Amino acid sequence: MSTDVRCLLVETEPYPLVRLLGVLDSPTVETVRTALLTCLADQAGTAIVDVSGLAVGHPGSLAVFHEVAVEIAEWPVGRLLLYAPPGPLPGWDGARATVTGSLDEAYRQLDAGVGARLSVRLSPAVGAARRARELVADGCGRWDVPELADSACIAVTEMVNNVVVHAETPMTVRLGLRDGALHVAVRDWSLRPAVHSGPAPTTSAGGRGLLLIDTVARRWGTSMLTDGKIVWAVLHAEDAPPV
């Protein structure tokens, strides 16, 4: 039996619908994981996954859906719903995720769970970090969390400068507010791991390395994709220094 898995983007509106076809087992788990993360990264972190065409070769492999959901929960927008017409599939408890048989119900769940968000696409050029800080200032002002603006600007500056200096690809900066926490992420198109230390040019703001994010974010990390990566950080108001 073939163990190939294909990941197809079927629709983009009102939410991305991804169809998985093939056999989910030990050899294909990492393929499915990375493909889903990449699709979610390109679709603002939200997707419905049609698993009706996916055969389960090993029940333990279903844990990949929970692992993906946990990872994207740190992104500015991170929601993954499984869809299998006409309804829940037997033996899918290991996925630890809701499997709905109705697209309308999936849309309703996503409508209820997607919080405030902003994004901007940037070139790897001088001024990129400044534009990212403007996005942060805009979001913190709109969402009435001004106390997070300074810390988030530090984080996004280091993320963007890392792309400008090391990845040298276009990037998408995303910002989201959920449950009082500010989620910041920068997606690039370089497979080079994020450089955690080392100076940027002296002409740029920041330049103290990604480890500076440790001082302002409660959590941060990197999600590797098939064609690049996302560096993300989560900031909480109670961690912000007093003004």
Q: Could you report how far apart the first and last alpha carbons of the chain are, in Å? A: 62
Q: Which candidate, 83, 231, 99, places its Cα nearest to that of 157? A: 231
Q: Between the CA of residue 49 and those of 40, 79, 210, what are the distances in Å?
A: 10, 11, 33
Q: Which residues does 90 contact at the CB level (< 8 Å), separation at least 6?
A: none
Q: Which residue has the tokens 């390395």?
A: 209
CB distance 70 to 111 below 8 Å: no
Alpha-carbon gap, residue 45 to 152, rounded angstroms? 20
Integer Rg of the chain from CA: 19
Q: Which candidate, 110, 119, 124, 59, places its Cα nearest to that of 89? A: 59
Residues of the chain with CATH 3.30.750.24: 5-113
CA atoms within 13 A on the CB side of 164: 29
Residues of the chain with CATH 3.30.565.10: 116-239
Confidence (pTM): 0.86
Domain 116-239: give its CATH code: 3.30.565.10
Alpha-carbon gap, residue 156 to 160, rounded angstroms? 6
Is CATH 3.40.50.300 the classification given to domain 5-113?
no
Q: 17 by DSSP, 3-state: which?
A: strand
Q: Which residue has the tokens 């403007």?
A: 134
Which uninterrupted H or E stretch holds 128?
helix 128-142
pLDDT in tens, the chain (243 residues): 445 888 898 988 888 899 999 999 999 999 999 999 998 998 888 889 999 899 888 888 999 999 999 999 899 988 888 998 776 666 777 778 778 888 888 888 888 766 789 999 999 999 999 999 999 999 999 999 999 999 999 999 999 999 999 999 999 999 999 889 999 999 999 999 887 654 444 333 344 567 889 899 999 999 999 999 999 999 999 888 776
